[in-house]
Amino acid sequence: MSFLTVDAGLAARGVHLAVGVAEGETVAVMGPNGAGKSTLFGLCAGLLRPDSGRVALDGRVLADARSTWIPPHRRGVALLAQEPLLFPHLSVLENVAFAPRAAGASRATARTAAEYWLGEVDAADLASRRPAQLSGGQAQRVAIARALAAEPRVLLLDEPFAALDVAAAPALRRLLRRVLTGRTALVVTHEPLDAHLLADRVVVLEGGRVAESGPTAELLERPRSPFAAGLAGLNFLRGRAVVWGPTARTTPPGHLRVVGLGEVSGTVPDGADTPAAGEEAIAVFRPADVSVFRPESAPHGSPRNAWAAAVRELEPRGAQVRVHCDAGSHVIVADLTPAAAAELDLGPDVAVVLMAKAAAVSVYAA
Ligand SMILES: Nc1ncnc2c1ncn2[C@@H]1O[C@H](COP(=O)(O)OP(=O)(O)OP(=O)(O)O)[C@@H](O)[C@H]1O
């Protein structure tokens, strides 16, 4: 059983989340707006009460839909908000000492603890300042020290870099990497890089449910949800695996039928699960591996995937042009050079044929 176990729902929000976190594990929580990230934190921190299921920490139920309710300050769960919420009238040291004081420590013990944690976040020299005299990055470090001074068993960080300017983020990222090592924590982030640097594992939420979970690198390489595919910058199609004939053709070995698009051929990557016929399967491919043709000049009889599509919009993207296309009921994006986009005279509503070699399409079981 996990150290922190959430298997809890809030019907009014259409949310039911099942998430387990091992002791000492840091988990990145990702997902689009409204996916349930804040609800997950609220359930853990004691800001929301589940109306089904329960939340438990180290075998002790923190909240359930019936009678159990441990109040926030007795859970051993610290929530760090996007904005560092420091008491404006207290010094930095007093802010950090507040947590041990509230837990019953003597003034001297609380002060010693505060000095220790300020040292841990490289903010010892800020001890006598007021919050108004801190930069955003400094205030966030102090807020982290305060959260840690409460000696929480679980730390919840809600987009810790959201309120920081880009210049302050790298130092805080290094700091968090250090303090999160071996700590039980959940971190909401929109950055795959932060998931990779700070967390052991990613949980992706979509529509109030856990869509997928796994090590960051694996999730980006073989996403199983449209959201994770978006993070990885990949086109994503979901369908059912098909096997042709009594002996399935083996090159290319992966085929799936995608509703609203047709058949897609790809290759099962090493280490991925080959889908059985009829099973749900996923195809992903890079926008750079999609070729765009005008219908009249599209090559025929090629073994590639070919989809009739219409350009929806063009988007400049660094040295490339990203072409968003409607192909059946799906959106497929292709990256072209500006010269190629100009030569094809692409624009909204222009009819095109999109092609992708089976070797460039990864197919695996959903
Ligand atoms: N106070 C509220 N009352 C009712 N429903 C809410 C409330 N807050 C959020 N919801 C709903 O609960 C669902 C989950 O929302 P939640 O805020 O947990 O998502 P989120 O992943 O944190 O989103 P964001 O990235 O926008 O912060 C959504 O359908 C949302 O509309």
Question: Average pLDDT of 252-264?
Answer: 83
> Which residues lie closer than 8 Å to 232 by C-beta, 6 or more apart?
192, 219, 220, 221, 223, 284
325, 294 in Cβ contact below 8 A? no
DSSP state string for 104-135: T--HHHHHHHHHHHHHHTT-GGGTT--GGGS-
Res 272 pLDDT > 90? no
How far is 245 from 237, CA to CA, in rounded Å? Answer: 23
What are the residue ranges spanned by the domains of the chain? 4-221, 233-366
Higher pLDDT, 308 or 275: 308
Q: How far does the centroid of ligand 1 lie from the alpha carbon of residue 353, in Å? A: 39
Q: What is the pLDDT of residue 249?
A: 52
Res 323 pLDDT > 80? yes
Residue 20: pLDDT band with limits 50, 70, 90: very high
Q: What is the pLDDT of residue 264?
A: 92
Question: Average pLDDT of 307-324?
Answer: 95
Which tokens go with 288?
């750079």
Place domain 4-221 in its CATH homologous superfamily. Answer: P-loop containing nucleotide triphosphate hydrolases (3.40.50.300)
Instruction: Write out pLDDT tens, residues 129-177.
Output: 999 999 988 999 999 999 999 899 999 999 988 877 777 788 889 999 9
Which tokens go with 175?
């700091």
For residue 35 and ligand 1, the question of a CB distance below 6 A is answered with yes
The atom of ligand 1 lying closest to the CA of 208 is 14
Res 343 pLDDT > 90? yes
Question: Average pLDDT of 297-317?
Answer: 89
Q: What is the pLDDT of residue 302?
A: 67
How far is 246 from 277, CA to CA, in rounded Å? Answer: 11
Confirm whether 4-221 and 233-366 share one CATH topology. no
How far is 57 from 74, CA to CA, in rounded Å? Answer: 12
**ipTM associated with this complex:** 0.96
Helix (H, G, I), strand (E, B) or coil at 195: helix
Question: Average pLDDT of 268-279?
Answer: 87
Instruction: Write out pLDDT tens, residues 84-130.
Output: 889 999 999 999 999 899 888 999 999 999 999 999 999 999 999 99
For residue 43 and ligand 1, the question of a CB distance below 6 A is answered with no
Q: How far does the centroid of ligand 1 lie from the alpha carbon of residue 15, in Å? A: 9
The atom of ligand 1 lying closest to the CA of 39 is 18
Task: Give percent of the chain above pLDDT 70.
Answer: 96
Question: Average pLDDT of 63-79?
Answer: 94
Q: Please say whether the dihedral angle defined by the alpha carbons of residues 143, 145, 149 and 154, taken in this order, is positive or negative.
A: positive
How far is 11 from 208, CA to CA, in rounded Å? Answer: 10
Q: What is the pLDDT of residue 269?
A: 87
Res 309 pLDDT > 80? yes
Q: Where does 233-366 sit in CATH, by number?
A: 2.40.50.100
Query: In the predicted model, what is the mean pLDDT of the chain?
Result: 92
Q: How far does the centroid of ligand 1 lie from the alpha carbon of residue 35, in Å? A: 7
176, 161 in Cβ contact below 8 A? no
